[in-house]
Chains A and B, each alone.
Chain A
Amino acid sequence: MSDKMMVIVNKTTGHVLAAATRRSEPETAAAIEDLVDDGLEINDPESGDRWLTVDPEQMEVKVVDYDENVLIRPRAYQLQDDVPVLLALSISTISLSSSELSISFTFPTGETPPIWIQLENGARDERIVLTEAAATAAPHKFAQQFNVGNAYEILALVGFNTPLTTKLTVS
């Protein structure tokens, strides 16, 4: 077993979304398309149904030191200076209205965490990605038009916080 592994991370926030190893060339990062094809599927863990798909352009592959804990629960980690760090904070709330998305979270004093949120509707024909390089205060609001009654599957990534997957209807 090599002492290296590959992690698939979100380019904006550094959140680890998946991890993998391979016997051949274990210390060389594979191309992102080789590992996710047209996207990484985030599945509903309870039903196994596809929740949403993250485009390859939103992610990159990094090689890090092998860590069994990262391999088992990659989404509990964020790369900080290319080292996986276990996340301790959780996103408090996220809500949708016809004109905005609002998200509340905490983060260490003095930090400016990046935000990356993907929304996908049930028909899979609408995929929205919202990003903010550095949030300065919570709750953070994104001005965005949504149709009342529409339902979205959401993956929210905020620095220092564990990922949040949820389903919301615009009210």
Chain B
Amino acid sequence: MTIERPIFYEEQILAPADLTADVEHARGQMARHTRYHHLWGIATGLELTGEDKSTTEGKSYKEITLGVGLAVDAWGREIVLEAAETLDPELFIELNVFTGKDDWHPVFLMGAEKDPTSAPLDLGSCDDDSVNRKLESAEVTFGRPGDEVEIEEQPAAGVADGPGDGGWKILLGFVKFDDDLDLFTDVTDSSEGTGRRYVGVRADEIEAQSGKLTIRSRPSDQTGTPLLVMDESDGGKLQFGLQASGGGITPVFTVDSKGNVTAEGTVSGLLTSGTLVESGVAFDGMMIPLPVGITDDEVADGKVVLHIHVSLHTVKRPSGTLGHVTVALPVECRVDGRRVHCRVAEVSFNPAIGNASYFPAPCDYTILAYVPSAEEAT
């Protein structure tokens, strides 16, 4: 297929098809750009909000409103909702998608191509072909729970196609419905990990012009949200942190162009070669805690070698008159894997007190987790 572009010459009589072809060429070009340079989804607004209401019988329900906004579908078609719209319970019933009061039913937005409604006494031609406008409108529809996961399986555009006639579903959120009241009762943006999808970009290379490239998880006025900054100042650095007021960054992790790493927190999860150490006290029957960042799986896989030393945890005992002093003698203090076996026998120097008493006891431990270097591991 070849893309056709109309051209004109002096004194040409322009037929409607010529002018339409000119418009369609521009629409097709824009749709292909949007489709292949960007990722479809919500561009702005289109938020679902619920307002608490009561029926005349005092039953609670929610009136759900879809706010104004713009989305782009997978054909590259712009879908504009220029006035807020109340979701229609009658449409929900008509679509026959209800599965249960506690189920979250997906709400979709679709682009639609419509003819304008003619006024009853319109003075236009009686010819049906005389319509000289198309309405690029937006339509809300509902689905059954689970329909939202099949959203990527809708008919895709051909590479040369224009924006199509609409019909591609964009997920806006979810609603609950009460089939006794025939009204909505709740609304949410996401259900079971599936939620609203926003527009994106397709790019193998991003090039900044100011010397600083910023990637934000939220708009710049939302402080405390994560962002990533690549900045050529100070010789070049990569920073991760949280958004400060004014859209700046409060860095918690920085790598400079010389490879120096500055981290505000701890670096865990290794596995860099070296030795991690942990020490403390552990009681009989429990496990010696692994150093932070080391996992049981890494030990089991032989990626980490443990060295453990334990000794009886001794304490200062109250002094007593000679003959009444009790001492704790270690009976056992060892580890089986990381499991502690530690017992003491308390013995009195007073013969009247009799035999030793045995108790489970705590041990002091030092655990070294050695991670071999890549060369050693091979």
Pairwise interchain contact B285-A45, C-beta atoms closer than 8 A: no
The yes or no answer to B279 lying at the interface (CB within 8 A) is yes
The yes or no answer to B343 lying at the interface (CB within 8 A) is yes
| Between-chain CB contacts (< 8 Å), 19 pairs | A8-B286, A19-B283, A24-B278, A24-B291, A25-B292, A30-B289, A34-B289, A35-B289, A37-B296, A37-B338, A41-B284, A43-B343, A45-B343, A45-B358, A46-B358, A48-B331, A48-B341, A72-B313, A72-B361
Please tell me the number of chain B residues within 8 Å of chain A, measured between CB atoms: 28
Closest CB-CB distance, B295 to chain A, in whole Å? 9
**Residue of B with least CB distance to A51:** B285
Pairwise interchain contact A37-B283, C-beta atoms closer than 8 A: no
Pairwise interchain contact B287-A34, C-beta atoms closer than 8 A: yes
The yes or no answer to B178 lying at the interface (CB within 8 A) is no
Spell out A's residues near B (CB within 8 Å): 5, 8, 18-26, 30, 34-37, 40-43, 45-46, 48, 68, 71-75
Pairwise interchain contact B278-A71, C-beta atoms closer than 8 A: no
Distance of A73 Cα from B360 Cα, bound (Å): 8
The yes or no answer to B97 lying at the interface (CB within 8 A) is no
Pairwise interchain contact A72-B286, C-beta atoms closer than 8 A: no
A71-B313, A71-B362 known; A18 vs B285 contact (CB < 8 Å): yes
CB contacts (< 8 Å) of B315 on chain A: these are: 68, 72
B281 touches which one: A37, A48, A71 (CB < 8 A)? A71
Pairwise interchain contact A41-B280, C-beta atoms closer than 8 A: no
Distance of A23 Cα from B362 Cα, bound (Å): 16
Pairwise interchain contact B282-A20, C-beta atoms closer than 8 A: yes
The yes or no answer to B339 lying at the interface (CB within 8 A) is yes
A22-B280, A23-B280 known; A41 vs B285 contact (CB < 8 Å): yes
Pairwise interchain contact B278-A23, C-beta atoms closer than 8 A: yes
CB contacts (< 8 Å) of B282 on chain A: these are: 18, 20
Pairwise interchain contact B281-A20, C-beta atoms closer than 8 A: yes
Pairwise interchain contact A43-B285, C-beta atoms closer than 8 A: yes
The yes or no answer to B359 lying at the interface (CB within 8 A) is yes
The yes or no answer to B290 lying at the interface (CB within 8 A) is yes
**Residue of A with least CB distance to B331:** A48
